[in-house]
């Protein structure tokens, strides 16, 4: 039964593909001289000149493949390629590995998309929060409407939610990326 | 009852006949007017257009950029008129672009864009366009889509027969519509001394092949007539330029009657290679003049205006073999050369035919001296000797002709509101379509070059009475797009334009889009007041001038709190947009500023001058919705009374100290 469903789905997708193809054929007559637009939205625009945005920085980092996969699964690639400005706390692959086994795989399942989005949003602040503007005890509103807490030690070192260390600060065209060594987990919902 | 009496029957017949006649007399094409193969103009969301279309804005003074076939308006490039939207003519950097020998001129009438060419083919580098009223030629750079240079034309008035180029953009030419007493002569003479005192001029402006910079190489002094349009020879006729002229009657009043008396006016053929020889041989005469030459630098992000004081005149009366006149019926308007360069089409707007001249025959006529006397010293070629043939009964009011790559010509008919397609060699009329209404110019992409792209044709109409929703006394003028890929022309789209569209140009999109600049590199910014980072933001006082080097980046200004500025100060906000990202301009405006906003591209610096007249608190903010926190992108400048001792200070992100939180006592001396 499951197999039949899969075949049907595949057939359906194929038929859409065919239909789309036909449509493309019709419009090419009007645009055969035209330079092509990127089919993948603003994040796919070929632009080697501009300063890299947050998504491009993450995609370019070998330490952030898990985060990039999560952004794709959560459909947040276009949003984080937006004008911003954002401050994104970007956990490394090692940070994700610290989570209990199976957590990431679980979140990557289709029916957990809202949970994944909630976690990603908890790593994003709207606005540019530079380190020198951060104060001990400062609370910052995150995109999922929860707050993170900044602590600043006597040595000036900043921790997020008491445990996550900032490993690097990378300016992006649309904000700022803080590479962190722990995944920030939003408070449990009431 | 008398109903069926023969007499009544007759009336019935007449009525029936009249009804039938009325039906057939409905303006042709009212049915086809309502149709249109819209699918051919449809460019799906997310798809690019096939062609860029550069359309003159006429009395708006600007140039509009549309996509074809969609008719989508992509951009309005300010050229000769100020544009508060872009700060053009308002920012300190752009003001010099509108300088002339008459001072700052904030408006003009832009008619004929012409794209640069290499070997007679559109090369996508620059667009030249004329300003009619205070005669000027502008060059628009197609990497930035901005006006890069404007040069004023001396000895001219009504710079209409412009801005047309030679096939390698060696020259852009400018022909005067009004003949006038030359700039160095006494112009304070009776108007009815036209014949003695008024002279015509056509200017050849050399274009630097790398930078595009313009320089008037020479002017050809001609008898007093009106020059209307022009086009360069190409291929075999490269080295020649053809100008239509009317008012060979030399009337100085009521031209609508007095300039229409002669059966024929002229196409003036100029051998510009010969003119170059004369110039080189020192046959030119230096004339003292004054004209402005304005250039914009993308390095300093500023324009400079220079007044030039000399020009070289080559006199058509004195220098043989340089200028000839070809008779052309009744006040020719368009003067168009086919892609081979062999055929020159003159469209007498009051003529019932379109004469087509042959360059080969013209050369033979010159060699044979087949002249019909002279006109103020210029040989007049015998009409038949240069004539290839006439397009008979083309329509009413022929104006302009463009070409496709298949040997066909397309002529606009103003009076009969139609486009007529005819074969250039056989002169046979092949097709005609109505326009709605009163078409002026028309345009085929590359249609005045050696390589037309005869897929589309656009007609530019003056009257649109039943085409768009009424908008008060003034209605939008229109462009109408036709598919000309088949034997018959088919209307596919109808879209409104800015100002009044005159001539236009179009080129394949790929030729231009690949060179389009994304932003200015901040490290290459040589503006004297640039801030190449927030750390360089500062406020300095120089007498009563206060210079504020201010930066913008998503989503704040630095500084955004400024104090210590006084009534009587001249404030200069030098805003540098620190972004290095495509499509992220920041705007700037301050309350009460009596000029315009600034709209500053990434990596660029622009300056707003502001003279505060009253003490108080003046907010400023970003005018371009740049980011999620655009509405937070704001600041305050405190203006104290003249003589105040509030110290000059500036900051961003400084939290109030307890002392500063208290109400400050007025700090006047």
Regarding an ipTM greater than 0.85, the answer is no
Q: What is the pLDDT of residue B260?
A: 85
What digits encode the pLDDT tens for the residues B491-540? Answer: 999 999 999 999 999 999 999 999 999 999 999 999 999 999 999 999 99
Half-sphere exposure of B335 (CA within 13 A, CB side): 32
Task: Give the nearest partner residue to A33 out of B40, B510, B584, using CB atoms.
Answer: B510
Residue A92 in contact with residue A110, Cβ under 8 Å?
no
Question: Is residue A43, in this structure, part of any structural domain at all?
Answer: no
Residue ranges of B 533-562 with Cβ closer than 8 A to chain A:
554-555
Distance of CA B426 to the CA centre of its chain: 34
Question: Is residue A132, in this structure, part of any structural domain at all?
Answer: yes
Does pLDDT of B662 surpass 50? no
The reply to whether A26 and A95 lie within a common domain is no
The reply to whether A15 and A57 lie within a common domain is no
The reply to whether A25 and A67 lie within a common domain is no
Q: What range does the domain containing A20 cover?
A: 1-31
Q: What is the pLDDT of residue A4?
A: 55
- CA-based nearest residue to B588, from B597, B579, B580: B597
The reply to whether A16 and A60 lie within a common domain is no
Q: Which chain B positions have a beta carbon within 8 Å of A26's beta carbon? A: 39
Number of domains chain A contains: 2
The reply to whether A14 and A76 lie within a common domain is no
The reply to whether A76 and A7 lie within a common domain is no
Residue ranges of B 596-655 with Cβ closer than 8 A to chain A:
626-629, 653
Task: Report the residue count for chain B.
Answer: 669
Question: Is residue A93, in this structure, part of any structural domain at all?
Answer: yes
The reply to whether A22 and A91 lie within a common domain is no
Query: What CATH number does the domain containing A67 carry?
Result: 2.30.180.10
The reply to whether A58 and A89 lie within a common domain is yes
Question: Is residue A129, in this structure, part of any structural domain at all?
Answer: yes
What digits encode the pLDDT tens for the residues B178-229? Answer: 999 999 999 999 999 999 999 999 999 999 999 999 999 999 999 999 999 9
Give B431's strand partners. B421
pTM for this prediction:
0.89
Q: What is the pLDDT of residue B28?
A: 43
* CA–CA distance, B356 with B343 (Å, rounded to integer): 6
The reply to whether A148 and A107 lie within a common domain is yes
Q: Which chain B positions have a beta carbon within 8 Å of A133's beta carbon? A: 653
Domains of chain B: 35-75+393-517 (no CATH), 525-654 (2.60.40.420)
Kindly indicate the confidence band of residue A43, based on its pLDDT and cuts at 50, 70 and 90: confident
The reply to whether A167 and A77 lie within a common domain is yes
Question: Is residue A40, in this structure, part of any structural domain at all?
Answer: no
The reply to whether A77 and A160 lie within a common domain is yes
Q: What is the pLDDT of residue B622?
A: 97
Mean pLDDT score of chain B, rounded to an integer? 93
What digits encode the pLDDT tens for the residues A117-127? Answer: 999 999 999 99
Question: Is residue A19, in this structure, part of any structural domain at all?
Answer: yes
- Residue A119 C-alpha, separation from nearest chain B C-alpha, in angstroms: 21
Question: Is residue A188, in this structure, part of any structural domain at all?
Answer: no
Q: Which helix (H) or strand (E) holds A161?
A: none
The reply to whether A117 and A77 lie within a common domain is yes
Q: What is the pLDDT of residue B617?
A: 98
Task: Give the nearest partner residue to A84 out of B42, B508, B554, using CB atoms.
Answer: B554
Beta strands in B69-186 (DSSP E): 73-77, 99-100, 103-104, 114-118, 121-131, 136-141, 146-152, 164-165, 171-175
Chain A touched by B47 (CB under 8 Å): yes
Looking only at the bridges linking them, the beta strands covering B136-141 and B146-152 are antiparallel
Number of A to B CB contacts under 8 A, please give it: 86
Chain A touched by B74 (CB under 8 Å): no
């Amino acid at each position: 039964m499951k197999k039949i469903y899969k075949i049907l789905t595949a057939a359906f997708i194929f038929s859409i593909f065919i239909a789309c193809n036909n449509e493309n054929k019709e419009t090419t007559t009007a645009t055969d001289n035209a330079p092509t637009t990127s089919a993948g939205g603003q994040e796919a625009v070929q632009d080697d000149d501009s300063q890299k945005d947050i998504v491009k920085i993450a995609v370019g980092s070998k330490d952030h493949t898990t985060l990039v996969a999560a952004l794709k699964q959560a459909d947040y690639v276009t949003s984080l390629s937006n004008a911003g400005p954002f401050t994104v706390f970007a956990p490394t692959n090692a940070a994700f590995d610290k989570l209990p086994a199976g957590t990431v795989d679980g979140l990557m399942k289709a029916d957990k998309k809202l949970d994944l989005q909630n976690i990603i949003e908890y790593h994003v602040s709207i606005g540019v929060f530079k380190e020198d503007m951060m104060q001990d005890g400062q609370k910052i509103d995150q995109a999922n409407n929860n707050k993170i807490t900044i602590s600043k030690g006597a040595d000036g070192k900043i921790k997020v939610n008491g445990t996550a260390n900032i490993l690097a600060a990378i300016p992006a065209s649309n904000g700022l990326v803080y590479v962190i060594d722990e995944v920030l987990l939003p408070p449990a919902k009431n | 009852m008398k109903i069926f009496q023969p007499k009544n029957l007759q009336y019935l017949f007449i009525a029936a006949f009249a009804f039938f006649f009325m039906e057939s007399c409905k303006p042709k094409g009212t049915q086809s007017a309502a149709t249109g193969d819209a699918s051919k103009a449809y460019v799906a969301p997310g798809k690019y257009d096939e062609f860029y279309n550069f359309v003159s804005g006429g009395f708006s003074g600007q140039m509009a950029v549309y996509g074809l076939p969609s008719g989508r308006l992509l951009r309005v490039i300010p050229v000769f008129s100020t544009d508060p939207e872009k700060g053009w003519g308002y920012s300190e950097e752009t003001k010099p672009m509108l300088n002339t020998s008459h001072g700052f001129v904030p408006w003009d009438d832009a008619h004929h864009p012409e794209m640069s060419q290499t070997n007679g083919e559109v090369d996508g580098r620059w667009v030249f366009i004329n300003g009619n009223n205070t005669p000027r030629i502008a060059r628009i750079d197609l990497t930035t889509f901005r006006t890069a240079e404007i040069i004023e034309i001396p000895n001219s008035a009504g710079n209409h027969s412009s801005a047309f180029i030679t096939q390698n953009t060696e020259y852009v030419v400018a022909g005067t519509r009004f003949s006038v007493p030359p700039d160095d002569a006494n112009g304070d003479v009776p108007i009815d001394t036209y014949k003695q005192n008024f002279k015509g001029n056509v200017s050849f402006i050399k274009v630097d092949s790398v930078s595009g910079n313009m320089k008037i190489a020479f002017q050809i002094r001609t008898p007093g007539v009106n020059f209307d349009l022009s086009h360069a020879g190409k291929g075999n006729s490269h080295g020649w330029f053809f100008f239509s002229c009317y008012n060979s009657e030399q009337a100085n009043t009521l031209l609508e009657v007095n300039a229409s008396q002669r059966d024929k006016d002229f196409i003036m053929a100029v051998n510009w290679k010969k003119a170059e020889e004369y110039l080189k041989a020192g046959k030119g005469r230096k004339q003292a003049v004054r004209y402005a030459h304005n250039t914009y630098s993308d390095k300093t992000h500023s324009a400079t205006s220079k007044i030039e004081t000399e020009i070289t005149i080559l006199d058509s009366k004195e220098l043989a073999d340089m200028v000839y006149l070809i008779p052309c019926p009744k006040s020719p308007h368009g003067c168009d050369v086919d892609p081979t360069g062999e055929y020159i089409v003159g469209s007498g707007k009051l003529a019932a035919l379109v004469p087509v001249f042959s360059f080969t025959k013209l050369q033979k006529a010159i060699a044979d001296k087949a002249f019909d006397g002279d006109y103020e010293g210029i040989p007049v070629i015998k009409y038949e000797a240069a004539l290839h043939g006439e397009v008979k009964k083309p329509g009413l009011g022929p104006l302009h002709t463009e070409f496709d790559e298949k040997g066909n010509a397309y002529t606009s008919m103003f009076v009969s509101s139609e486009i007529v397609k005819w074969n250039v060699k056989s002169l046979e009329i092949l097709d005609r379509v109505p326009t709605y209404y009163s078409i002026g110019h028309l345009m085929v992409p590359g249609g005045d070059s050696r390589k037309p792209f005869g897929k589309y044709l656009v007609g530019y109409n003056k009257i649109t009475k039943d085409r768009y929703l009424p908008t008060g006394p003034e209605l939008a003028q229109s462009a109408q797009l036709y598919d000309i890929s088949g034997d018959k022309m088919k209307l596919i789209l109808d879209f409104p334009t800015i100002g009044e569209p005159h001539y236009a140009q179009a080129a394949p999109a790929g030729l231009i889009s690949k060179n389009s600049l994304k932003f200015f590199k901040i490290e290459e910014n040589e503006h004297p007041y640039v801030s190449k980072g927030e750390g360089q933001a500062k406020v300095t006082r120089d007498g009563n001038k206060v210079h504020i080097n201010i930066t913008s980046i998503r989503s704040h200004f630095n500084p955004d709190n400024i104090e210590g500025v006084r009534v009587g100060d001249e404030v200069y906000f030098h805003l540098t947009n620190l972004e290095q990202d495509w499509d992220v301009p920041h705007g700037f405006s301050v309350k009460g500023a009596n000029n315009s906003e600034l709209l500053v591209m990434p990596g660029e610096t622009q300056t707003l001058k502001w003279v505060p007249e009253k003490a108080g608190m003046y907010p400023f903010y970003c005018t371009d919705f740049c980011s999620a926190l655009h509405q937070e992108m704001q600041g305050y400048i405190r203006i104290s009374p003249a003589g105040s001792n509030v110290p000059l200070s500036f900051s961003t992100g400084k939290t109030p100290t307890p002392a500063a939180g208290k109400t400050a006592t007025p700090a006047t001396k």
